[in-house]
């Protein structure tokens, strides 16, 4: 499915967030995890794994290509990934 296309089976208004209907399905899946008392497929650490490399890359660029270690925020983590 091309990114940005609204899925035809999505309810009316599901694409109102500006990203097709992707955020609708993310919220529905998250709600199911709560209702079913299951862990979410992505936790805060996964989110940080996806986010921090970009932040560190931007910082590195601002500093002329200086090496910036990507932090590991997990308890007992090494402090970098």
The pLDDT-based confidence of 1 (bands split at 50, 70, 90) is very low
**Residue 25: what pLDDT?**
79
Q: What is the pLDDT of residues 24-73, one digit of tens each?
A: 878 888 889 999 998 877 788 988 999 999 999 999 999 999 999 999 99
Q: What is the pLDDT of residues 12-23, one digit of tens each?
A: 777 666 666 778
Which helix (H) or strand (E) segment holds residue 37: the answer is none
CA R_g for the chain: 17
Whether the model clears a pTM of 0.75, i.e. scores above it, the answer is no
């Amino acid at each position: 499915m091309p990114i940005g296309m609204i899925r035809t089976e999505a309810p009316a208004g599901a694409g109102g967030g500006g990203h097709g209907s992707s955020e609708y399905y993310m919220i529905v899946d998250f709600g199911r995890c709560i209702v079913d008392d299951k862990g979410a497929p992505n936790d805060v650490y996964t989110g940080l794994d996806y986010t921090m490399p970009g932040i560190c890359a931007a910082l590195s660029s601002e500093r002329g290509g200086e090496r910036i270690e990507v932090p590991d925020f997990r308890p007992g983590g090494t402090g970098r990934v």
